[in-house]
Structure 1
Amino acid sequence: MRTFTRRVVLGVAMAGAAAFAALPQAVAQDAWPDGPVTIVVPFAAGGSADRVARNIAPFLEEELGTSVVVENRAGAAGQIGTMQVLARPADGNTILLHAQPYLSASIVLQGAQFGIDDFEVLNVHNVGNISVTVRSDAPYETFDDLHQAIMENPGSMSMGTVRGGASHLLALLLKDKLGWENRLVTYDSGAPVRTAILGGQIDASTNGAVSDAAMKPKVRSLAVSTSTGISAFSDAPYLNDALEQYGAEVPEIGDVRFLAVKAGTKEAYPERFQALLDAYEAVMENEEYQALLQTQGAAEETSFRGPEEGTEIVRNMHELMTEYQSAFQQ
């Protein structure tokens, strides 16, 4: 058997190191992406989160130079798809497109086998304004009109909202901050809430402002939840402005749709994490993509906020869900 001396071994090692150093820098660091990137949507096809993923996918393909596949993994209020993302490597090849407060509802209310720290946010894609909406023929011209009616008729007035969503959280906040004793009627999605308000089955609703605006002139908005407002309800005041006369204030919240990767990705593959961010930001600046958002009425609510601000928004919503979890369970 041939015996290798220490000098020979060192010589081979040094030659190998020199050869590696001579490789193109991009290959030496990380030739990525080397396959498809997958966006997992833990909800059924056709919903708002799915639409965001399918809108952005072809533009991300152009920026990343690889195919971007959208997978719908619905079930257990988003838990099935989320668990599938966490079962895959933290390598940047899988992106989760989720929504708040639904992610936190799974954690806080349903005992999901994951936590808020299991994700690294790339960006909060949009924050959907919530409208306090009534029928146009309702006797409430202003938010104060609705407030006075609820205070004068404790227990008799109803407000519709989407169960477990940001609109539900806002309805609970209004009850808490204003001392309302109104009935909350919860629905599985925004569509039946809109049907109920048009049919006069409920007195008012908290629901997605963009979708509610599509019902004009049959409805009017008494207030919207974020200070950016919405052009379709341009005459609706910012909710906290409407609440000021009662000495009340609520956090600025909305339906938050965000993209994230599995925790540990940034540390293990910082170049990939940055590449995803750069590609994402480039998509948001793409004129064709912005035109698409305009046609869908989503441009006002969509922007590139980045990981730091996005993480803050996602975590603030989680804290609110934790604070109000007992009210959700009533």
Structure 2
Amino acid sequence: MNKTARRRMLVALTAMAAATLAGGAIAQDGYPNRPVTLVVAYPAGGDSDVLARLFAEKLTARLGQPVVVENRTGAAGTIGSAYVAKAPADGYTLLVAPNTLAISPLVLKPGTGASYDPQKDFTPIVELGTQSLFVIVNKEAGVTRMSELVTRAKSGNLQSYASPGNGSPMHILGELFNKSAGVKIAQVPYRGSAPAIVDLLGGQVPMMYSTLGPVAQYFQSGKLRPLAVADTKRSPFAPNVPTLTELGYKDVEVGAWQAVLGPKGMSAEMVGMLNKHFNEILKMPEVVARMATVATTPVGGDPATLRTLIANDYARYGKLVKEFGIQAD
């Protein structure tokens, strides 16, 4: 081998070594190289928490790093949401949240310390699924249909309902139903659905507006009863339950969605990678089956679609919050 050939081989070997070292550095410093946290702004046991734990398990296997769920509750979900909004945009702190995310800031008093802008302070990643809201009563309330509920409310024998917090979709639904039915049923806000359901079962409150997942287990025993669904059509998870529109109550369609977001400023590459993982997980038969147990229809899609969804909800509920004068205590 002459000098020229040896020189060329040396250059090639040097280049290969450099490429190998660079590849090792990229792998070593690549995302993720430590645990990822999915923050849920509500107590354990609610829909967001159940979904977060389901996806944490699947993401752990796909990312090769532990994905853990952390519950940061309080102030209608704004404490946990604001925590994520202020976190570094490095992909290690993400939020699993319902559409309360877009409503709660509208009802906060100035200076709460838990404020955020749902359109500017987050990076949308993916919509996980949609849920219907139901009118649920305790069997001790002695109500078997919506007409009876309205009659009892007008006579003063049914005066309150439980909700997972001020500014939640359930709270909005309560105000819309009051207006449509001509009643005044007062909201009793809780720090999430789970503690509200405890008091509903105990009879401390006679009724609740809720997604189906956390309460369906109590239907067969008769402890709780679904009277109506606040959607444009009947739910595939409870096809025998009529819609409020069917029963003559107009303009009371309110639904819920669940989504994953990160702090603002996350890189497009990171968001794209996470979006791909979530969309693939949403197609897994076992995931679809598990989501059905909390009456959630998988959606998926791209980040831009979720951004539009948040903007639309923020605009719609902003008008309703102003109309009803809703404000957190």
Q: Would you say same fold, with TM above 0.5?
A: yes
Does structure 2 retain, via aligned residues, the 8 Å contact 1:35–1:67?
no
Q: 2:126 aligns with which of 123, 126, 131?
A: 123
SS of the aligned residue for 2:53 comes to helix
Matching residue of 1:278: 276
Cα distance change on mapping 1:104 and 1:84 into 2, 3 Å: same
Tell which deviates more after alignment, 278-287 or 183-192: 183-192
Deviation for aligned residue 1:67: 3.6
* Cα-Cα RMSD: 3.5
Q: 1:33 aligns with which of 31, 35, 45?
A: 31
SS of the aligned residue for 2:255 comes to coil
Matching residue of 1:262: 263
Deviation for aligned residue 1:79: 4.2
Seq. identity, %: 24
Deviation for aligned residue 1:166: 2.0
Tell me whether 1:57 sits opposite 2:53 in the alignment. Answer: no
- Once the two structures are superposed, residues 284-314 of structure 1 have per-residue CA deviations (whole angstroms, 9 ceiling, x without a partner) of 11233334435xx125434324424433433
Does structure 2 retain, via aligned residues, the 8 Å contact 1:128–1:301?
yes
Partners of 2:122 and 2:160 in 1: how far apart? 34
Deviation for aligned residue 1:131: 1.4
Partners of 2:74 and 2:177 in 1: how far apart? 30
Matching residue of 2:299: 303
Deviation for aligned residue 1:206: 1.6
- Give unpaired runs (5+ residues) of structure 1: 1-14
SS of the aligned residue for 1:133 comes to strand
Does structure 1 retain, via aligned residues, the 8 Å contact 2:84–2:263?
yes
Partners of 1:57 and 1:131 in 2: how far apart? 28
Does structure 2 retain, via aligned residues, the 8 Å contact 1:99–1:258?
yes
Cα distance change on mapping 1:306 and 1:144 into 2, 3 Å: farther
Cα distance change on mapping 1:142 and 1:316 into 2, 3 Å: farther
Cα distance change on mapping 1:299 and 1:270 into 2, 3 Å: same
- Once the two structures are superposed, residues 161-193 of structure 1 have per-residue CA deviations (whole angstroms, 9 ceiling, x without a partner) of 213222122101111333323333333443454
Question: Which amino acid letter does the alignment assign opposite residue 98 of structure 1?
Answer: A
Matching residue of 2:255: 253
TM-score by length of 1: 0.74
Does structure 1 retain, via aligned residues, the 8 Å contact 2:40–2:52?
no
Matching residue of 1:95: 94
Matching residue of 2:309: 313
Matching residue of 2:226: 221
Tell which deviates more after alignment, 204-213 or 116-125: 204-213
Partners of 1:73 and 1:157 in 2: how far apart? 33
Deviation for aligned residue 1:72: 3.8
Matching residue of 2:69: 70
Tell which deviates more after alignment, 110-119 or 72-81: 72-81
Does structure 2 retain, via aligned residues, the 8 Å contact 1:39–1:53?
no
Does structure 2 retain, via aligned residues, the 8 Å contact 1:156–1:182?
no
Which residues in structure 2 correspond to 1:84-233 (within 5 Å)?
84-102=83-101, 104-106=103-105, 108-111=107-110, 112-116=114-118, 117-136=120-139, 140-150=143-153, 152-153=154-155, 156-162=157-163, 163-164=165-166, 165-216=168-219, 217-227=222-232, 229-230=234-235, 233=238
Partners of 1:74 and 1:198 in 2: how far apart? 22
Deviation for aligned residue 1:224: 1.3
Does structure 1 retain, via aligned residues, the 8 Å contact 2:162–2:200?
no
Deviation for aligned residue 1:271: 2.0
Cα distance change on mapping 1:203 and 1:100 into 2, 3 Å: same
Cα distance change on mapping 1:299 and 1:137 into 2, 3 Å: closer
Partners of 1:187 and 1:96 in 2: how far apart? 21
Partners of 1:197 and 1:113 in 2: how far apart? 30
Deviation for aligned residue 1:237: 1.1
Matching residue of 1:3: none
Cα distance change on mapping 1:64 and 1:238 into 2, 3 Å: same
Question: Which amino acid letter does the alignment assign opposite residue 161 of structure 2?
Answer: G
Equivalent pairs counted in the alignment come to 299
Cα distance change on mapping 1:291 and 1:142 into 2, 3 Å: closer
Tell which deviates more after alignment, 165-174 or 128-137: 128-137
Cα distance change on mapping 1:81 and 1:303 into 2, 3 Å: same
Partners of 2:270 and 2:237 in 1: how far apart? 39
Does structure 2 retain, via aligned residues, the 8 Å contact 1:43–1:72?
yes
